[in-house]
Amino acid sequence: MTESILELKGVVAGYGPTTVLNELSFAIAAQQRLAMIGRNGVGKTTALRAIMGLVPLRSGRVIFRGQDISTLAPHQRAELGLGYVPQTRDIFPSLTVDENLLAGLKRRPRNALDEAYTLFPRLAERRRNGGTQLSGGEQQMLSVARALLGQPSLLLLDEPLEGLAPLIRQELLRAFRHMSQQTGITVVIVEQQVDEALGYAERALVLDHGAVVHSDGAASLLADTEALERWVGMAVH
């Protein structure tokens, strides 16, 4: 049995008086690609934020590589090997592509930027452009590339395809596949583009009311239109 790189045990979390995650429990194996899907508002983004330490736990534990990280700050989790790309992308709009990527290098040499430009050639063409001069898809590529330069062993992607044109989504997914094959990184992807997320992932979890209600191989779930219509409220494209 493959050892888990991440495990959530009975995680309860939320905002103010509102509880969003209700005894959320799951594990993900090292080097696995996991898609987390479900209707809007079921706790997918909150789950990623709880893993990263951006939402405090009311109870339960987050175990990363055998270590309980439930009380660690986000920057401490990042140092241990967690990477996070939020929905908001969070690039520095006043900085160039080059400068944004330099911010993600941590203590690595400058020539490590070549890794980002190899993964996303479009960024190499725009390396002197400011963040505000980039399209939405290019901003997403920049956000992902910057996170990867920190060499995380687990990358959390929160709706990376949201609002992007189909061709750009496919370009990103190709890069994600290449990234997974070349680095062996573990990926958790939260995505409303269900068919594309399941096409990329190996395993899938469906969340409802802050808990896992269905777990399956991604390909099996993609073929299970009844389950998708029940839990996601839509058939795949």
Cα 118 from chain centroid?
A: 20
pTM: 0.93
Ranges of H-type helices in 35-73 = 44-52
What is the mean pLDDT of the segment spanning 171-176?
92
- In the 8-state DSSP scheme, what is residue 182? H
Report the CATH architecture of 4-231: 3-Layer(aba) Sandwich (3.40)
Residue 59 CA to residue 12 CA, distance in Å, equals: 5
For the chain, give every domain's residue range.
4-231
pLDDT confidence band for 1 (50 / 70 / 90): very low
pLDDT confidence band for 152 (50 / 70 / 90): very high
* Proportion of the chain above pLDDT 70, given as a percent: 97
Model pLDDT for residues 48-78, shown as the tens digit of each residue: 999 999 999 999 999 999 999 999 999 999 9
Supply 232's token pair. 């996601």
Supply 121's token pair. 């050639």
Supply 162's token pair. 């949201």
- Sole residue written with tokens 């944004």: 100
Residue 83's pLDDT is 95
Q: Are strands 67-68 and 82-85 parallel, antiparallel or unpaired?
A: unpaired
